[in-house]
Amino acid sequence: MNYKNMEVIDSDIMAKVFDLTKNFDCNIYTDKDILNALNKDSLNIFDLGALLSPHALKFLNAAASKAKYETKKNFGSCVSLFTPLYISNYCENHCTYCGFNCKNKIKRAKLSAEEIEQEYISISKTGLKEILILTGESRIKSDVSYIANAVKLATKYFSTVGIEIYPLNTGEYNLLKNAGADFVSVYQETYNTQKYKYLHLSGPKSVFDYRFYAQERALKAGMRGVSFGVLLGLSDFRKDVFACAVHAYLTQQKYPHAEINFSVPRLRPYINKNQINVNDVYETQLLQAMIAYRLFMPFAGITISTRERSGFRDNVIGMCVTKISAGVKTGVGGHNEKEKGDAQFEIADSRNVEEIVSLIEKKGLQPVFTNYIRT
């Protein structure tokens, strides 16, 4: 299935990811396989599978210690801070798990350029120097020029600008890069194509292939880095995390200059849907996924969002997480005045920037507001 104006690039990464994931059986690994992975300096794809196996849970403490060592070795004591800003929640997709889906009756809104700048001013007063700009997936209500203007405005107040929007063609990503965007986040949600089709009932997001290659198009356009992730709980999390890690690994092999990051969102309730099916992805399994990412790709960043409770977030920074959000609002706006539009999902950690900074310092770590000088 394809949609008009969706760019097709020459790449074999998806075929390789499918082939490797098809052969992944999480039940074949032995104690010896898991211990061998934990004792290696550089892991291969077989080792990744071993660390994601149910059997590996009994080695979780040892894996956590190894992850903490790798994080310290590659990132020192630094923990980066950022906050997201939703500038629009209009969406053209019918995704059954998302509060923004076009069939969900919520208050829709879009910030004007003036409102966006006021949000930036309020956020910058907290000391934050990194922002993530988000929209619902609507090319009509939040077109590329609207997003480019928001990015350009952001460079007046922030040293690092990320975008989490609908997938774009290479030329469009280049336009946003030239406006000042540094990073692109796109989450495949699930790599199970049958489940993907079942969950994405209509809209451009239903085109699996186009979404899959978003990171590669962004890197071809000159973006500094890209983020990968699956929405844990939609399908078999072990296969999804395995596929996501392989996707990121193969992308970095092809684009070795790219900064790679993982996010690990889990399903959360949203307006009009209070009950969710987590498919047995609890905090222990979430931790296992993060540790597997860290040990398989030691130089990759890992972000923990406010979907998770404060106690869990506190424990994983410095162990495997290198970036944490603070002062989060998941509705449209909300940093300067009351949120203008309804939220995408419920958050579990509402602490402000000062509280998160205090927590990082109490753990003997260094809160980092910027690690990049914009030229």
The structure's pTM equals 0.95
Dump pLDDT digits (tens) for 274-320.
Answer: 556 666 789 999 999 999 999 999 999 999 988 899 999 999 999 99
82 is in which domain, residue-wise?
13-368
Angle (CA) 233-234-236 rounded to 5° is 75
Q: Has residue 68 got a pLDDT over 70?
A: yes
What band does 98 get if pLDDT is binned at 50, 70 and 90? confident
Q: Has residue 271 got a pLDDT over 60?
A: no
Overall number of domains in the chain: 1
**Within a domain: 7:** no
Rounded (10°) angle between helices 237-254 and 283-296: 20
Could you tell me the CATH number of the domain that includes residue 264? 3.20.20.70
Dump pLDDT digits (tens) for 50-64.
Answer: 999 999 999 999 999
**Within a domain: 374:** no
**Within a domain: 63:** yes
Dump pLDDT digits (tens) for 134-175.
Answer: 999 999 999 999 999 999 999 999 999 999 999 999 999 999
Distance CA 40, CA 120 (A): 45
**Within a domain: 1:** no
> Going by DSSP bridges, is the β-strand pair 94-95/200-202 parallel, antiparallel, or unpaired?
antiparallel
Which ranges of 105-159 does DSSP label H, i.e. alpha helix? 113-124, 144-154
pLDDT for the residue numbered 330: 81
**Distance (Å) of CA 135 to CA 108, 129, 206, 278, 339:** 11, 20, 17, 25, 14
Q: Has residue 270 got a pLDDT over 60?
A: no
**Within a domain: 249:** yes
Dump pLDDT digits (tens) for 202-219.
Answer: 999 999 999 999 999 999
Which residue, among 122, 126, 115, has the nearest Cα to 88 in the 3D structure? Answer: 115
pLDDT for the residue numbered 2: 56
**Within a domain: 2:** no
**Within a domain: 76:** yes
Distance CA 322, CA 368 (A): 10
**Within a domain: 329:** yes
What band does 126 get if pLDDT is binned at 50, 70 and 90? very high
pLDDT for the residue numbered 101: 87
Q: Round the average pLDDT of the chain to a whole number and report it.
A: 93
pLDDT for the residue numbered 239: 97
* Residue 309 Cα to chain centre, angstroms: 17
Dump pLDDT digits (tens) for 32-48.
Answer: 999 999 999 999 999 99
